[in-house]
């Protein structure tokens, strides 16, 4: 028997009003089997939000950074992918904890705690991150359409705006339909790269060594730039807002025991989903390293070049097509999370409600403008640099989301018994410090030349 949502209360026992729900039309809309059901069935009810979150960790922006990292530096930056994925697992678990324990997403929690000027600053920073993420989706989808069907880049960018109707149609049918499509497309991406990975046949010893960090990553400015881009593309700031909201779509008991069970399953869900993201990101870098590093194509930086060269280099005719199909699936998937995240931060920070279609077209319109300007002024080849730059912009926004998140989940007054332990808090603050230091180093390197 499925248990439906009842009026929630926070750890201190206060009720959350109807208008204060995050994504109010979806709140508690996914039923959870009653206590008599098996643990596996109850876990399955919580499977989904983690995969929506994982989409942001393998979107077209990741492809650009992973491709350049593999082609230029071989397998060395696999350690950065692993580190960023570990950081992502920790931060997404904290995000789910905040949403489940308080019935408040990260944006709402910021609005509750910070004065209005700081909230406006945080909101604008998050909106900038969402636009940067959407920029990567526009470029990725446009390039995929060009590679598969010969559609001009500008036309592909404009066609990508129509995905708003796909998102609206799925949301109208229910959140589970949205999750099912996400998971299906993620499987397509994983399968495409599994085939390419087998064809690339990388040396196992070199791949294993790549997961061991080296000081060169920090001392080499070019490598550091791509490394920070990888972190920015992997640990997505808007995903922290997104996850703290969509975990509340489950109709779990809003009691201490019900919340603890929900937290356990939600954490397992996101950890498994992010492991899939680790595989995809590592596979992109490994394929690029095996195909291009140390050869005449080690300067490959554009997705179009990778598409053109993969089949002849790997000796498999379908390799390039699989690359483009996976790119289109990644771009399509990313549109859904961008729409939801935009709605969450706008409602959470400034309580401004906008129809999802209008919100989607506004964000996509702002993302399309830089693509049009860059293409008209500098040609199609400029979008690759624009894609890479968008990931660095994302990385620069991370502290604005990570620091408030860690601050809130460590606050026992806010979280009650769900507050993280001192040891867990220390690890979370170390993660936040690493992100902050890397961003400061990037700023220094950029201005110092």
What mean pLDDT is predicted for residues 51-71? Answer: 83
Between 287 and 237, the more confident residue is 287
pLDDT tens profile 106-138: 999 999 999 999 998 888 888 877 777 777 777
By the 8 A CB rule, do 201 and 286 touch? no
Share of the chain above pLDDT 90, in %: 35
Residue 424 falls within a domain, yes or no? no
Q: Give start and end residues of each alpha helix (H) in 410-421.
A: 412-415
Q: Left if phi > 0, otherwise alpha if psi is -120 to 50, otherwise beta: which for 6? A: beta
Three-state secondary structure of 72-90:
HHCCCCHHHHHHHHHHHHH
Residue 429 falls within a domain, yes or no? no
Highest mean pLDDT among 46-50, 330-334, 370-374: 46-50
Q: Can you give the pTM of this predicted structure? A: 0.86
For residue 357, give the nearest of 120, 161, 68, 110 by alpha carbon: 161
300: pLDDT strictly greater than 80 = no
Between 157 and 284, the more confident residue is 284
Residue 303 falls within a domain, yes or no? yes
199: pLDDT strictly greater than 70 = yes
Residue 5 falls within a domain, yes or no? no
Instruction: Read off the tokens for 18.
Output: 């109807």
Give the pLDDT of residue 313. 84
Residue 11 falls within a domain, yes or no? no
pLDDT band at residue 430 using 50, 70 and 90 as cut-offs: very high
Give the pLDDT of residue 443. 64
pLDDT band at residue 92 using 50, 70 and 90 as cut-offs: very high
pLDDT band at residue 13 using 50, 70 and 90 as cut-offs: very low
Instruction: Read off the tokens for 137.
Output: 């989706």
CATH of the domain at 253: 1.10.4160.10
Residue 417 falls within a domain, yes or no? no
95: pLDDT strictly greater than 50 = yes
Give the pLDDT of residue 294. 81
Query: Domain total for the chain?
Result: 1
By the 8 A CB rule, do 319 and 288 touch? no
DSSP state of 72: H
DSSP state of 34: -
378: pLDDT strictly greater than 60 = no
Q: Which residue range forms the structural domain that includes residue 318?
A: 36-396
Give the pLDDT of residue 207. 95
Instruction: Read off the tokens for 201.
Output: 């046949």
- Rounded Cα distance between 226 and 439, Å, is 12
- Rounded Cα distance between 160 and 142, Å, is 7
DSSP state of 316: -
Long-range CB contact pairs, 372-381, < 8 A, 24+: 372/154, 372/157, 375/153, 375/154, 380/153, 380/304, 381/302
By the 8 A CB rule, do 171 and 178 touch? yes
How big is the chain, counted in residues? 449
Residue 120 falls within a domain, yes or no? yes
Give the pLDDT of residue 398. 77
pLDDT tens profile 151-178: 887 787 777 767 666 666 777 777 888 8
Give the pLDDT of residue 4. 43
pLDDT tens profile 320-369: 899 889 988 887 777 777 777 878 888 888 877 767 667 666 666 665 66
What mean pLDDT is predicted for residues 189-203? Answer: 91
pLDDT tens profile 229-271: 777 666 778 889 999 999 999 999 999 999 999 999 999 999 9
| Bridge partners, residue 33, by sequence | 2
What mean pLDDT is predicted for residues 299-322? Answer: 82
278: pLDDT strictly greater than 70 = yes
Q: What is the dihedral of CA 127, 128, 133, 137, to 10 degrees?
A: 90
Give the pLDDT of residue 230. 79
| Bridge partners, residue 250, by sequence | 30
302: pLDDT strictly greater than 90 = no
Mean pLDDT of the chain: 82
Residue 290 falls within a domain, yes or no? yes
Between 192 and 393, the more confident residue is 192
């Amino acid at each position: 028997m499925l248990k439906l949502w009842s009026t929630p209360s926070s750890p201190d026992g206060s009720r959350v009003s109807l208008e204060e729900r995050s994504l109010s039309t979806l709140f508690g809309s996914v039923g959870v089997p009653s206590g008599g059901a098996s643990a596996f069935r109850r876990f399955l009810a919580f499977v989904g939000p983690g995969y929506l979150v994982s989409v942001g960790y393998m979107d077209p922006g990741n492809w650009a950074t992973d491709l350049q990292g593999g082609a230029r530096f071989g397998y060395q930056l696999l350690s950065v992918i692993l580190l960023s994925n570990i950081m992502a697992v920790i931060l997404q678990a904290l995000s789910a904890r905040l949403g489940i324990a308080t019935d408040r997403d990260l944006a709402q929690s910021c609005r509750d705690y910070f004065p209005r000027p700081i909230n406006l600053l945080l909101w604008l920073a998050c909106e900038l991150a969402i636009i940067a993420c959407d920029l990567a989706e526009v470029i990725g989808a446009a390039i995929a359409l060009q590679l598969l069907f010969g559609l001009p880049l500008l036309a592909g960018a404009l066609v990508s705006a129509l995905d708003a109707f796909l998102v609206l149609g799925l949301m109208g049918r229910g959140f589970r339909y949205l999750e099912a499509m996400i998971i299906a497309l993620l499987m397509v991406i994983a399968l495409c790269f599994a085939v390419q990975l087998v064809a690339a046949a990388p040396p196992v010893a070199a791949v294993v060594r790549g997961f061991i960090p080296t000081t060169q990553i920090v001392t080499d400015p070019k490598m550091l730039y791509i490394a920070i881009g990888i972190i920015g593309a992997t640990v997505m700031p808007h995903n922290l807002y997104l996850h703290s909201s969509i975990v509340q779509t489950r109709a779990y008991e809003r009691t201490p025991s019900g919340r603890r069970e929900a937290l356990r399953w939600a954490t397992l869900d996101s950890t498994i989903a992010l492991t899939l993201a680790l595989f995809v990101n590592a596979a992109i870098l490994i394929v690029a390293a095996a195909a291009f590093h140390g050869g005449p194509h080690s300067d490959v930086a554009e997705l179009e070049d990778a598409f053109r060269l993969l089949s002849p280099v790997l000796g498999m005719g379908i390799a390039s097509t699989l690359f483009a199909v996976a790119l289109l699936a990644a771009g399509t998937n990313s549109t859904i999370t961008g729409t939801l995240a935009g709605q969450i931060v706008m409602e959470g920070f400034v309580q401004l409600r906008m129809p999802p279609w209008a919100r989607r077209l506004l964000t996509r319109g702002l993302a399309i403008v830089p693509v049009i300007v860059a293409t008209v002024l500098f040609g199609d080849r400029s979008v690759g640099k624009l894609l890479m730059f968008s990931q660095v912009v994302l990385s620069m926004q991370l502290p604005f989301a990570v620091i408030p998140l860690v601050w809130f989940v460590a606050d026992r007054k806010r979280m009650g018994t769900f507050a993280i332990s001192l040891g867990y808090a220390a690890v979370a603050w170390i993660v936040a410090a690493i992100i902050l230091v890397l961003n400061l180093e990037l700023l220094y390197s950029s201005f110092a030349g």
